[in-house]
Amino acid sequence: MRLEALLDDYYVPLKGVSARTEKLYRYTIQAFGEHLGHAATTDDLHELTVARFLSARLREMAVATAAKDRTQLRALWEFAARRGLTDGRWPQIRPIRVPERVPRCWLTEEMQRLLAAASERQGTIAGVPAAAWWRAALLLCYDSGERIAPLLSLEWPDVTPAGVTFRAEGRKGQRRDIYRQISPETFAAIQAIRGPRLRVFDWDRATSSLWGHLGKILEAAGLPNDRYSKFHCIRKTTASYAAAAGLDAQRLLDHASPKTTRAYLDPRVVIPPSAPDVLPRVG
């Protein structure tokens, strides 16, 4: 059975995965097929075949991408094996360890530069001036600490002067709604793009192009434009400054684990106790 058919006919309907997760699985299946030179099938789920694919991915892509491919191929393989589609072969795939990096957020001055560059954007987005669209979106990301996908799903009835409600259907995991307070400045920026549309932040281009457009704003602001500098960097900014002020960053980010939250806190902002501050001076 082709892995695409396994995904479409069985995995997606039985697992109930989100549209974004489904898309990520498709990317993995496509990459596996390109490596093989043919459409990937359950017959290709062999230990050595998958190991060679992942080794190639580690040479060509970021470690995190290869780790994502491993996780998704393993899930599909186990799903197929449980249904007798792999001739008794069960997944045996070596782990891929992703290095833990020191969290990096935007400092206040960098956020100011980012917003200034966004305010210079030309053209329109879904009929809205691009500069106003980006200013409102970035300010809401900053105030709420929410991911970009829920922002793109936000509807006008869920916006009030005091805050916004992000509905579960647009959020990662789709488990629950969350309400986040916003500043008067952010509400004014959102009101400035109000129109007849139901969604606050309509995006009339390919969704994947959103990150490229943000990259151009980052470059205009003189900021790094890499995989660590996109919307999640703003999320880290919000978490770091909130934690430094004594707020519960785990609750703000809606994380299940404090370990996950710790990976968002920039030590330049959330300054931990320092050994040089407490060690007896000897020199």
Could you tell me the CATH number of the domain that includes residue 194?
A: 1.10.443.10
The pLDDT of residue 17 is 85
Task: Calculate ∠ Cα 133-136-139, nearest 5°.
Answer: 145
The pLDDT of residue 272 is 87
Residue 7 has pLDDT above 80, yes or no: yes
| Residue corresponding to tokens 């043919």 | 38
Residue 53 has pLDDT above 90, yes or no: yes
Long-range contacts of 273-278 (CB under 8 A, 24+ apart): none
Residue 174 has pLDDT above 90, yes or no: no
Residue 196 falls inside a structural domain: yes
Give the pLDDT mean for 42-50: 95
Q: How far apart are CA 136 and CA 188, in angstroms?
A: 8
Q: How confident is the model at residue 256 (pLDDT cuts 50, 70, 90)?
A: very high
Q: How far apart are CA 269 and CA 2, in angstroms?
A: 49
| Domain encompassing residue 139 | 108-262
How much is the mean pLDDT over the chain? 95
Residue 279 falls inside a structural domain: no
| 83-131 residue pLDDT tens | 999 999 999 899 999 999 999 999 999 999 999 999 999 999 999 999 9
Q: How far apart are CA 23 and CA 5, in angstroms?
A: 14
Q: How confident is the model at residue 1 (pLDDT cuts 50, 70, 90)?
A: very high
The pLDDT of residue 173 is 76
143, 196: one domain: yes
Q: How far apart are CA 80 and CA 57, in angstroms?
A: 23
56, 114: one domain: no
119, 200: one domain: yes
Which of the pair, 112 or 208, is modelled with greater confidence? Answer: 112
Instruction: Check residue 2 and report its DSSP letter.
Output: B
- The identity of residue 30, as a single letter, is Q
257, 124: one domain: yes
Share of the chain above pLDDT 90, in %: 88
Residue 101 falls inside a structural domain: no
The pLDDT of residue 175 is 84
177, 240: one domain: yes
Compute the Cα dihedral for 164, 170, 171, 177 and give only its sign.
positive
Instruction: Check residue 102 and report its DSSP letter.
Output: P
The CATH number for 36's domain is: 1.10.150
Phi, psi of 272 (to 5 degrees): -80, 165
113, 176: one domain: yes
The pLDDT of residue 205 is 87
Q: How confident is the model at residue 71 (pLDDT cuts 50, 70, 90)?
A: very high
Domain boundary among the residues 67, 82, 97 is at: 82
Residue 142 falls inside a structural domain: yes
Residue 88 falls inside a structural domain: no
Residue 198 falls inside a structural domain: yes
75, 112: one domain: no
Q: 124 forms bridges with which residues in the sheet?
A: 129
254, 218: one domain: yes
Residue 230 falls inside a structural domain: yes
Residue 16 has pLDDT above 90, yes or no: no
Instruction: Report the number of distinct structural domains present in the chain.
Output: 2
76, 120: one domain: no
Residue 183 has pLDDT above 90, yes or no: yes
Q: How far apart are CA 78 and CA 54, in angstroms?
A: 17
Which helix (H) or strand (E) segment holds residue 282: the answer is none
123, 254: one domain: yes
Which of the pair, 227 or 180, is modelled with greater confidence? Answer: 180
130, 225: one domain: yes
Q: How confident is the model at residue 235 (pLDDT cuts 50, 70, 90)?
A: very high
The pLDDT of residue 162 is 96
Give the pLDDT mean for 7-34: 93
Helices in the chain by DSSP H: which ranges? Answer: 3-6, 12-15, 19-36, 47-60, 63-82, 108-118, 130-144, 148-153, 184-191, 209-220, 231-244, 249-253, 258-262, 275-278
Q: How confident is the model at residue 36 (pLDDT cuts 50, 70, 90)?
A: very high
Residue 271 falls inside a structural domain: no
Residues 47, 73 contacting (CB under 8 angstroms): no
The pLDDT of residue 72 is 97
Share of the chain above pLDDT 70, in %: 100
- Secondary structure class of 132 (helix, strand, coil): helix
Q: How confident is the model at residue 78 (pLDDT cuts 50, 70, 90)?
A: very high
The pLDDT of residue 118 is 97
140, 245: one domain: yes
